[in-house]
A and B are shown apart, each in its own frame.
Chain A
């Protein structure tokens, strides 16, 4: 309390003091016949000198950070992917150009402010335009930027439109608040279809197989029954509203499921059986070095973004659509550790689009290893159908309810 009073007192007194000082200095100016707002030569000189200092401040900023961070290896290490190397070259070229521009142009600004400061009896030089000069600094940047544009586009097209050679590995990255799940296509090299209405506690990705459809219909049927039951028991108004909403959503989900059931009569939905799902709890997924990896990204809830900066890979994951990014890793985790002399180094996948409270901790390790190591690792993982508990037999009455629901 005393502290607060003291603080307020000191603030008020110092404000009063500054006000008095200003008032007195204005008065002195007036008595001396000067206008208090007019910039004196002395003031102008001091500020001009500080402008000159800005030239050195600008250079200092650039070189200090360049030496400490860029040269010091505190930034991202060299790209660990094929296209990443091209991007790094483009990046070096672009940064060189903008660094030169920064180091040359800023000093002109601040130096001119210093050099041409107000002088007694000084007079500016009336210089309103000069077509030749203006042409120079239109055409020179135009040439530089156009070169950069075409160079950049060349790399961009290479990243996204070049045909990948060799046997492509398809990996699905599935984002949800706040974790990643990876899925491999298995021996058929096809990812099984998935639907968000199929998501359940033992089918986190909503993979569609004939078995999971039946199981999900049974589960949702149970849930629906429970909601109906709760609604019958006269819940309080808030709860009632919530339950009604839940009933609505479950009805919609059941419609989608019954559609899938109908489809399954014509379509085998067999691609998903041998898929390999790496759950978030594992915390890492593996890819082989030197082989193109096609990432297919999906999201369960909000927009996430799969950011793998070491490979110069970045793509949003939006609910309702599948985005892709293909890249070829060129350095294994082990090699990178040796290169950086860091035993605990790991390539990381992390979220780079605001997605909620734990957005800052949504990551998964990416282990790059040789083809043999990778194949060994993959062969140790269970396929989707093998990982699920033996299918529960569906109770008769539930099956009946779901059959009724399916006709909704």
Chain B
């Protein structure tokens, strides 16, 4: 019997793959490498992005060392940077390359691919009760395009003129002219190629997620019975499908400008003693195109993290998520608004100030649905019976960071205030809290919580606790002081502040930040160790360790093609039936038929 599911009909076929399916041994190559099984693809995304996360982490440590102790030599810089770190002192161009690549890797390869790639793949079929994605082959391609993109980006780190160095936002003309900065040579070309591959990967994945959620749900799984994770994955995927193509267009036009002499973004440039032939282009146009992706991108990464937080907080508080419908509605509001706020990245670019006022209006509106979400999380904790597993702690951490980082957004979204804080460390602090660390916590919370579904084993709790508390405290210790640097007028992306005597008395802030970053970075090794150790030697997982209600906990621990032996489960209730009065257990899984009194009540409503 064929074990690969390739068409929607296979997926929907309730009785496909009898219990005997998993006895069939698959060759190594199709099981572990070119796998079409959503669970394996999820693990591939996870492992690749963990690799990238550590690469980006090491990069950040190297440039943080330079910022805290400018001009001093460090062994790690000398070892890893080679000619870019003579005597351990980071080269200014290499510094810009590092911040650029740190941003690129974190935003795209870790937060986007690592979060959505892992959990949308793992959870959409498992929580909806289907046997796989509607198009497993496309799903596999999605991973391999991501892999190819990763390879190209990794190669770009080693080219002679250095990797891209124009900031992760790659504003032309800096990114278009190798004369302006060495990183805009081959490094930038590879960056653009890699990004094109990444966008293909993201679209293949996104189309699959949306199609699966809309077309393939098990019997009884109405949209309103979907766990919030699924709502968030679907919305994030829709945002990605609509906005990533615009970045693709921008990248394509930039490639034309760089290589074929067009002038979309370039105009009136005199560099290196030569007047270039480009006239009539607009660098601001690129910024519009970039941020048309760039802003929804924030929610592409944040929404899945919030979805994961919803699911874990509800399960571990033993309470239904408070205001399910309000959560879905506010998520839609955020997603809709996210498309009409991109201009808040461009208040002072010379864009028409009238347009700026429109963008201020739409941007600050996002605070309202965000506030609803935050309050609903807090109310979910109220009168719970809270089990503080490592996953739960990270989920609470997400909410904490979402509140702190979200509040500073009110300053940045206000165009008049943005004049002073635009492009300062205030911005860096804001988006690292609300987008960077919150989303990273989403990935980590997911690993702790769904490890039994990923690897069939359990992670060690004690190491998880140590990991959480160090990470949580360090996250605040790194990014809280950064706000004050910004308010003192320190711009981001400065190689050092030594040229400005007015920043001298702020240097101790930079030292605090770097020390906290190093400690926080080392704490991630605890996680890495726990992760690898538990994959091989962790205690075997039971089917439903957290006593959750959603369908993934009804699937057997051993991974089998098609997820469930025999019939797929049928859904009778919403996903948050926790602590119902009069029930013996404090949870009722979704596939448990309605009780008699519930049936009566349902009949009354109809």
Interface residues of A (CB under 8 A from B): 15, 18-19, 22-23, 25-26, 30, 35-39, 43-44, 46-48, 50-51, 54, 57-58, 61, 65, 69-70, 74-76, 86-87, 90-91, 94-95, 97-98, 101-102, 105-106, 108-110, 112-113, 116-119, 122-130, 133-134, 137-138, 141-142, 145, 148-149, 152-153, 155-157, 159-161, 177, 195-197, 199, 206, 246, 248-249, 252-253, 256, 300-303, 305, 307, 309-310, 312-316, 318-321, 323, 344-345, 348, 350-361, 363
How far apart are the CA atoms of A278 and B85 in the complex, in Å?
A: 37
Given A39-B388, A109-B399, A206-B270, A303-B171 contact (CB < 8 Å): yes
Given A87-B420, A312-B420, A360-B92, A109-B400 contact (CB < 8 Å): yes
B484:A320 contact, CB within 8 angstroms: no
How far apart are the CA atoms of A137 and B180 in the complex, in Å?
A: 50
B382:A112 contact, CB within 8 angstroms: yes
Q: Could you list 30 examples of A-B contacts with CB < 8 Å? A: A18-B529, A22-B462, A30-B539, A35-B542, A39-B389, A43-B461, A75-B488, A87-B416, A90-B417, A101-B403, A102-B403, A105-B378, A109-B403, A116-B382, A117-B386, A124-B319, A124-B586, A127-B320, A128-B576, A137-B372, A137-B375, A149-B364, A159-B353, A302-B173, A303-B283, A312-B419, A314-B419, A316-B350, A319-B173, A356-B174
Most chain A CB atoms below 10 A, which of B269, B376, B384 = B384
How far apart are the CA atoms of A57 and B404 in the complex, in Å?
A: 13
How far apart are the CA atoms of A253 and B274 in the complex, in Å?
A: 9
Interface residues of B in 353-405 (CB under 8 A from A): 353, 356-357, 360-361, 364-365, 367-368, 371-372, 374-379, 381-389, 393, 396, 399-400, 403-404
A87:B348 contact, CB within 8 angstroms: no
Given A76-B489, A87-B419, A141-B367, A252-B96 contact (CB < 8 Å): no
How far apart are the CA atoms of A272 and B400 in the complex, in Å?
A: 58
**What 0/1 pattern do residues 284 to 295 of B give for CB contact below 8 A with A?**
100000000000
| B403 neighbours in A (Cβ, 8 Å) | 101-102, 105-106, 109
Most chain B CB atoms below 10 A, which of A48, A196, A248 = A196
How far apart are the CA atoms of A163 and B417 in the complex, in Å?
A: 21
| A344 neighbours in B (Cβ, 8 Å) | 501
Interface residues of B in 475-499 (CB under 8 A from A): 476, 480-481, 483-484, 487-489, 491, 493-497, 499
Determine whether B422 belongs to the interface, using a CB cutoff of 8 Å to chain A: yes
| A15 neighbours in B (Cβ, 8 Å) | 529
Contact among B365, B460, B473 for A57, CB-based, below 8 A: B473
Determine whether B32 belongs to the interface, using a CB cutoff of 8 Å to chain A: no
How far apart are the CA atoms of A348 and B177 in the complex, in Å?
A: 28
| A361 neighbours in B (Cβ, 8 Å) | 499
Chain A: minimal CB distance from B601 (Å): 14
Instruction: With CB as the reference atom, state the residue of chain A lying closest to B468.
Output: A47
Instruction: With CB as the reference atom, state the residue of chain B lying closest to A143.
Output: B368
Instruction: With CB as the reference atom, state the residue of chain A lying closest to B501.
Output: A344
Given A137-B375, A249-B274, A252-B277, A318-B174 contact (CB < 8 Å): no
A360:B499 contact, CB within 8 angstroms: yes
Given A116-B381, A117-B386, A360-B494, A156-B181 contact (CB < 8 Å): no
Chain B: minimal CB distance from A249 (Å): 5
Given A74-B488, A126-B320, A350-B500, A113-B268 contact (CB < 8 Å): no
| A128 neighbours in B (Cβ, 8 Å) | 320-324, 576
A357:B93 contact, CB within 8 angstroms: yes
How far apart are the CA atoms of A318 and B364 in the complex, in Å?
A: 28
Chain A: minimal CB distance from B28 (Å): 27
Chain B: minimal CB distance from A228 (Å): 16
Given A87-B419, A109-B396, A301-B271, A316-B348 contact (CB < 8 Å): yes
Interface size counted on chain B using CB atoms at 8 A = 128
| B556 neighbours in A (Cβ, 8 Å) | none
Determine whether B279 belongs to the interface, using a CB cutoff of 8 Å to chain A: yes
Contact among A36, A54, A345, A353 for B171, CB-based, below 8 A: A353
A-B pairs, 10 with minimum CB distance: A320-B267, A323-B350, A309-B489, A160-B353, A125-B383, A37-B458, A360-B494, A361-B499, A112-B381, A124-B579
Chain B: minimal CB distance from A146 (Å): 8
Given A87-B420, A134-B372, A307-B491, A51-B174 contact (CB < 8 Å): no
Known: A123-B586, A206-B270, A301-B271. 12 other contacts (CB 8 A): A44-B386, A125-B384, A126-B319, A127-B319, A127-B322, A129-B326, A137-B371, A248-B277, A252-B277, A321-B267, A348-B502, A357-B181
A22:B460 contact, CB within 8 angstroms: yes
Determine whether B332 belongs to the interface, using a CB cutoff of 8 Å to chain A: no
Determine whether B472 belongs to the interface, using a CB cutoff of 8 Å to chain A: yes
How far apart are the CA atoms of A90 and B277 in the complex, in Å?
A: 45
A124:B385 contact, CB within 8 angstroms: yes
**What 0/1 pattern do residues 248 to 291 of B give for CB contact below 8 A with A?**
00000000000000000011111100111101111110000000
Contact among A25, A123, A319, A355 for B268, CB-based, below 8 A: A319
A37:B180 contact, CB within 8 angstroms: no
Determine whether B581 belongs to the interface, using a CB cutoff of 8 Å to chain A: yes
Given A36-B539, A302-B173, A360-B499, A51-B410 contact (CB < 8 Å): no
Given A109-B399, A156-B356, A116-B383 contact (CB < 8 Å): yes
Most chain A CB atoms below 10 A, which of B279, B282, B348 = B348
B385:A65 contact, CB within 8 angstroms: no
